[in-house]
Structure formats: C-alpha cells, structure tokens
Chains A and B, each alone.
Chain A
Amino acid sequence: MTLLKNFSIRAAVLLFAALVCLSSGAAQNDASAEAIDAGRLGGAEDLKIAVFPVVNLSGSAAPITTIRWLLIEALKDADATVIADDVLDSVMAKYRVRYIGGLDQPTARAMRQEAGVDGVLITSLELYNEITPPKIAITSRLVSTGSPVEILWIDGVGLAGDDDPGLLAIRLVKDPQRLLRRAVHHLAQSLTDFLSGQRKRLDLHPPPKKFSPGHIYRSTAPLAVKTPKVAVVPFFNPSARSFGGEILALHFIRQLWALENFHVIEPGLVRQQLLEFRIVMDSGISLADVDVIALRLNADFVLNGKVIDYQDYQGYNGTAKVDFSAQLIERVSRETFWSVKSHHQGNDGVFFFDWGKVNTAYALASDMVQLAVETIE
C-alpha cells in the first residue's frame, strides 16, 4: 500500500515537472519569437518611411492605432527612420489625402517633396476577432515614392490562437494582444529581412496540395514578356464578407509579387485610373476597361475576379470557407490568358482531432492563391 502511494506521488511529481518544462519551453519560444533579431538588420536606416494609418478591412472594431504604433516601434527597433506623425498629418492635410489603402502618383510625389519620404508603409487589417481563441490577419506593404511608384515589399500574416495548441493546449493563445504582437513581429521580421537584402516570404512552407484550384484554364501561348506587368483590380464581391474583393486582390498581389516573374503595379495607381476614367465594374471587368487600364498603366495583363465566399468563424467551432474565381486578361490579344476557380474549406482533408485544419480564411486563401498563381507559369 505504501509502495503504491509512493509510486503515485512520484508519478504526479514527474508529470508536474514535465508540464513545467513544456510550459517554460513554450514561453521561451514566444519570447524569442516576439523579440526582433536586431543582428540581421542593415540598410533599414537608409530609408525614410511614412507609416500610413491602418486600413480596417475586418468589418469590425479593431485597435488599428495600436497596430500602427507597434509597427512603428518595430521599424524603429530596426533602425529605420520613421517620419513624425505631425509631419505626416500636415502633408496629408495639405494634399487632402483621404485614401490610405494605396499610394497614387500625386500622393507619392507630395510625400517625397514635402517630407522627404522614400517609402510608405500601407497596412490593411483583414481580420480581428477577440473571442477566444482570438484571430487576426494583417497585410502590409512598402511602396516607394519615387518614379515609378512601385511595391518594394509586401507580406501578410493570418493567425489564430489555436493554430498550434500543443499538448494539453499549453500553447493555446487566449490573449488577443499577445497574438497581435506576434503578427506584427512576423511582419516586422519579414520587412527587416527585406531591408537587409534577404528577400524572404513568411510562408516558406509549400502549401498543401489539397488546396489546389478546381478548374484551371491557361492559354497555350507562352508569356510574351519575360517579366510582365500586371494590374490587379479589386475583385467583384457578391459574398457576405465586407471588403472581400479588396482582401482577395491583396492576396493575389502578394503571391504574384512573391513569384518574382511578375511586376505587380501598386493598387493605388490602379485605383487612380479607375477613378479618373469613372470605371465602375458591375459584375467584372469589360474589355474596354482593360484597354484603358492597361494603356494608362502600361500593363501587359489585367487581373480580375470574383469572390463568392470568404468566411471566417468565431470561437473554436466552425470552418473557414473561401470560394473565388480569377482571370488574367492579356492587353494585346484582349483575351483571357489564364482563368482559375478555387473553392475550399479549412477542414478539407481533416479527419482526426482537427489535425491539419486551417483556422482563418486568410491562411486558407493564402494557400489557395499561392497554388493558383503557380499555374500561370
């Protein structure tokens, strides 16, 4: 009896010790992940950056001021020169800059001439949900103010508190602020990697093939230009998700930019043309619109599409769902060069204990778009 009691006490002590070790290991990982590796920086100090207010595409209230502040802090830690808020405010007020989701030619010129800014950091918050487990998705891009205005860097991150819960859920993140800091850290790390000359994407892992597009059409003709210029126009969005068209367009911009074989035109410039020529797309882009946009921006292709579903869920139970179609229209032939349709859910191919489940529509769409754009080549 005594022997049995001793054994139980020993087993309990051992289990407790193992639990403490695992917890401290997880905490250490978080601490190291959330600290910016200052040793890899270099080159960031040469750039003068303006950080635009965060665009809220999440359709809900979100701490966008905090996100911007965290980004500025991360850039300052990377020795980048960030212009003061009062300078940015004065330029924006003087030139009546109201659109902060992109950079058009007049705004870029004003930023360069008035504040000496080399690049503008444009950040879009695509998902923010504080209900446990919290969920967040952010896309950020650095756009040059020189001529031509172009995307220097773009990356994004979509995280859920239960992405990697670990054994006995000890790595489950319940604090939205912690998840937010982690997301900002990912972006800051990617940006500093770029600024230090190491161009790298966050999602280096190849996406699972189960998220491959359902239907693909690709013209048999080869790409006429080695690095074609692509103008991505906002997708037509009949889905229930607010700003679904803008969000999916950002996914395509990010993945095409990452392919390196395409020169993606800054969406702010595309928007400028849409406004100047009063182009309203009722259910997709017409060939006349393609002519105008491609001619004005000297683009070889215009990418357009439709978002049928872009669904996130709250809490633990639910499934992210993404359904879209996209087509690449060639400027010269005025024909569809490539067309794709993809529809998936976060629990596709998941059979046991949510193993392999994708918890955010952002992460799901990211994988789907990556696999889709790879078929263009």
Chain B
Amino acid sequence: MGDLAARIVEQAIKLGCQDAISDVVTNRSYQIRFARNEPVISNRWRERAAWLFMVHNKRVLLSDIKDLSKAEEAVERLVKIVQTSKENPEYAGIAHGPFRYARTRPDPKILALDDGSDHVDAAIHGALEEGAKECAGSFWRYEEAHDLVTSNGVEAQDHRANLYLSIRALVSLESSGHGIACATKLSQFDPDKAGHKAGRIAALAKNPKSGKPGRFTVVLDPLIFGSVTDQVAGRLSAWAVLAGLSPFGKKIGKRVASEALTLYEDGSADSIGRKRFDAEGVPTRKNLLVQKGILKTYLHNTSSAKRFKTKTTGNAGLVFPDPHAIFCKPGDWSRDELFSEVKDGLWLTNTWYTRYQSYVTGDLSTIPRDGIFRIRKGEVVEAWKDIRVTDNLLHLLKNIVALGNRTEQMMWWGEVSVPNFVPYALVKDVGVTKSAE
C-alpha cells in the first residue's frame, strides 16, 4: 500500500499543493466484549483507508479516503476544495525527512492469535476465584499497519499489534474492582492477574458505607494515578495550551508538581502505544515533560513548535499534538511502605468523569469508582462509596508525597486514553465531597 500513499502525495503536489501527507492504514483488529461472565459480542474489522493532509498556500485540509478504488478522483476533488478554504497564517510546514526509524515488528504469536476466548475465560475465572459474582469487560487484539508518505521525503511503515484486556468485577452494584492487562508480546499477557486484581478489590469493597467529606491523605492505585498523569499529558499538548484548555500555560521552567514527580512521554519505548513515527513521519522519542516537579516542555508538531520557538517533539497530530505513551519515574517506596504512611486516609482504585470548572486554573472534580477504602494506621478498616474528589490538578500534583517503586502499564476506557506507566502514589490533602441526600 506504500505505492498508494506515494501516488496520493504525488498527485496532490502535482495539482499545486505545497505539502502533503498520506497515511494508508489497514485495520485488522478483533475484540470480544463480555458481561455477566459471558461473551456478549465478538467484533472483527477489515478496513483500509487513506488519511490525507494537504496544504495549498497555507490552506490546510484533512481527509480520509475510504473508497481507495477512487482515490485519484478524491484527491482531485479535495485539492479543488482546499483552494477555496482560508489561509492559516500560523501553519509552519511539516517535518523534513527522510528519517531513520527504530526496527520494530509485532509479535508473530499475537498476529496469529485468532481467538481470544481463553484469555477472557482466564480473566473471568481469576475474578470469580477472588469472590466476584459478575464480570464485564473487553479483550482486544489490536492490529494496524501504516504506510506513511510525505512530500518532504518521508517513506515509513509501521506494523503494530498488541493485546489488551479490561475487566470489571462486581460482588454487587456498589462493590467492584477493575483490572487491566496490556502486552506487546503474547508471553507477557496476563489476563488472569488482571482478573484476580479486579476480583480482590471487589471482594474487599463489600458492604461499603457512605463516605464523608473532608481533606484526606490518599493512596492512588496505578489505575487512578494513570488518570491523573493522563490528564497532565493531554493538557501539555501545545494546542490545548493555546485553546485555553490547560493549566500549564506560561509554566515552562516553573514548578507544577512536587519533587517526587518526573514524567516522560515516549512513543518509541515498548508499550501498547508504541509508534515508530508521528503523523508527520518524525521518529518518536523520549521527551522529558516534568523533571522533579519542574515543567520542561509541551508536546509539539512542527507548526506548534515554531509558534513556541522550539523543535517538534514528535507528537503530531496534524492539528492537535498528542501523547503516545506516558512514563512516570518510579519512587523508592514499596506498596506496604506507602500504605503504612497513611495514619488516617483513603485508598482509591479507579475514577471516571474528570471534568473542569476552569481548565486554566485546573479546578476539577472526578468520581472514584470501584473500591474506595478508608485506611487507618496503614490498614484497610472499611469500604466507602458515593464520594467525589473535588480539587485542582496542580494542587494534586504538588501534593504528591511519594511514589511506589514499580510501575504498571495502564490504559482504560475514557479516563486513561494512552498507555501510562505509573506506580502507586501517595498524595496529601486531597479534597473529598459528597452528594446531599
């Protein structure tokens, strides 16, 4: 399909465009969704499309051509359309290749995996063994191939495949836990462990009491701490900063978190978000985002980098720069040490629905779900329900006291949008509110 991408780019340039990118994407993913301990549907995709970016006299157009048999007519039509659009004076071009890319190839055993039922069964079995009554979730075998060609000398291919499983285990409506399994190699995929974790939390969360408002020292499980770091990474997109959707504006070089927090973005490292290149064909790399609490960079494509007088970080997004995968530098606390530090506080295992009253100040709330536990003298003394974390993103980051010494790869529906490698985190002075009856 590399020929097709090249033909599309060549045609766009011949018709008068100055810049063009085509990414021909083949999707052969497969999924099993399950609920109430059984599969509810299995899905399989056979899709191929050409993503197209073209620029004519600083007029920028994006498209996806789904009918590849008519790609030539589509390009001709799209070039006519882009000419009638409006100039983007901030457009600053696309990266100049060619580039050298890391050699990566998907695990052949993942490519050969034709049925994920055993993995679903393993996860459900693990949760039920811990005492769960009802399990729901998804198993994915993602497979995508990219052939990317740009008018600035890039010709690149990337074949990505990985496994993912998300399981929620319930003892009852208000007693639940969540587990995640991610792997780029079949041999590393451990759905049984994810099921056990979900089931264990669900069983521990039995008979929850209504929580109380206040300010608490909190242990964040990796899944919910991944929601926090995912928020950070998303808000560090230069586009979000310019659109007023970030509390990190004008904070490069300033303290945004406690010394305990060092965060990297790295699309080149082994993760289920690994990519050889970004949407401009720039090789992905390790970007230091936050070093010991000091903000180091936003995420950029070529245009946003020029606006901020810096270089692309390899995070295009042709309009919106975005993160590929986030890595939190682990601390040196064991899980037990983190818990024993909590004299009177909470352990939160998951959250959802993070929303802002002000993106610029970072004022937000988010709703813990699954196990919520009261901790006294380092021990779980009871399960809670029906609370909300009402706080501020920068306040949360600055109040990180300590991090666990082991990271886990987290990604989850809605809240953790890209893989986040995160440890347990201990955060002080976290605001908790609850509903009036």
Judge: A and B partners, yes or no: no
A interface residues, Cβ below 8 angstroms from B: none
B interface residues, Cβ below 8 angstroms from A: none
